[in-house]
């Protein structure tokens, strides 16, 4: 009998500050799109801070995701660990502050090369936490970028 390899082909981590707004949106949306395409990828998210560990995503993120057909309500916030930086193949951060914070945890170029801003062209994903009106546009921006990242990462093999 042939043994099936269940190891994910790609392991992707989304990172923001508190892991309740942007990175859970990116995790949930990317996971749903990956499943829809039948890809064997592992998707997770974490925050650089520990304020919300153990909590569900912000209710406004849940609502914005739901409006686009995604359910992120069961996700639980966790804090980024050094082990995560070793385990995941690709680490996408939501803004330049997250990038600096994550890179400061690493000492070698190999691991640092796994880290990139989520958006193209060195742009930040705006943190919607203090502005209710930003949640839906940020969610849509994340949805569009997840589609692009799946194409880019699939092409790399």
Please indicate whether residue 16 is annotated as part of the active site.
yes
Task: Assign residue 123 the CATH number of its domain.
Answer: 3.40.50.2300
* Given 22, 31, 60, 145, the catalytic residue: 22
Please indicate whether residue 146 is annotated as part of the active site.
no
Q: Which residues are CB-contacts of 57 (< 8 A; sequence separation ≥ 6)?
A: 20, 21, 24, 25, 28, 65, 72, 73, 75, 77
Q: Is residue 1 part of a domain?
A: no
To the nearest 5 percent, what fractions of the chain are helix, strand and coil? 45, 15, 45
Handedness of CA 89, 31, 141, 21 (dihedral sign): negative
**Alpha helices, H only, the chain:** 22-36, 59-67, 82-87, 96-103, 109-112, 135-156
Query: Tokens 């203090």 map to which residue?
Result: 130
Q: Is residue 3 part of a domain?
A: no
Q: What is the pLDDT of residue 5?
A: 60
> The domain containing residue 41 runs over which residues?
10-156
What pTM value is reported for the model?
0.94
Q: What is the pLDDT of residue 4?
A: 54
Q: Is residue 27 part of a domain?
A: yes
* Tens digit of pLDDT at every position of the chain (157 positions): 444 568 999 999 999 999 999 999 999 999 999 999 999 999 999 999 999 999 999 999 999 999 999 999 999 999 999 999 999 999 999 999 999 999 988 877 777 889 999 999 999 999 999 999 999 999 999 999 999 999 999 998 7
Task: Give the three-state DSSP class for 114.
Answer: coil
Q: Is residue 5 part of a domain?
A: no
Please indicate whether residue 156 is annotated as part of the active site.
no
Q: Is residue 101 part of a domain?
A: yes
Q: What is the pLDDT of residue 108?
A: 78
* Given 58, 60, 127, 146, the catalytic residue: 127
Q: Is residue 41 part of a domain?
A: yes
- Count of structural domains, the chain: 1
Q: What is the pLDDT of residue 112?
A: 81
């Amino acid at each position: 009998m042939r043994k099936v390899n269940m190891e994910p082909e790609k392991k992707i981590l989304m990172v923001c500050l508190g892991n309740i707004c942007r990175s859970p949106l990116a995790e949930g949306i990317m996971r749903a799109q990956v499943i829809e395409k039948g890809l064997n990828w592992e998707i997770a998210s974490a925050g650089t801070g520990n304020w919300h560990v153990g909590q569900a995503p912000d209710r406004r993120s849940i609502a914005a995701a739901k409006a686009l057909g995604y359910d992120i309500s069961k996700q639980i916030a966790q804090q980024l660990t050094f082990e995560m930086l070793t385990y995941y193949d690709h680490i996408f951060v939501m803004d330049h502050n997250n990038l600096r914070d994550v890179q400061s945890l690493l000492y070698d170029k190999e691991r640092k090369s796994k880290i990139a801003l989520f958006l193209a062209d060195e742009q930040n994903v705006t943190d919607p936490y203090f502005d209710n009106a930003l949640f839906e546009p940020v969610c849509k921006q994340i949805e569009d970028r997840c589609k692009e990242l799946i194409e880019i990462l699939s092409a790399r093999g």
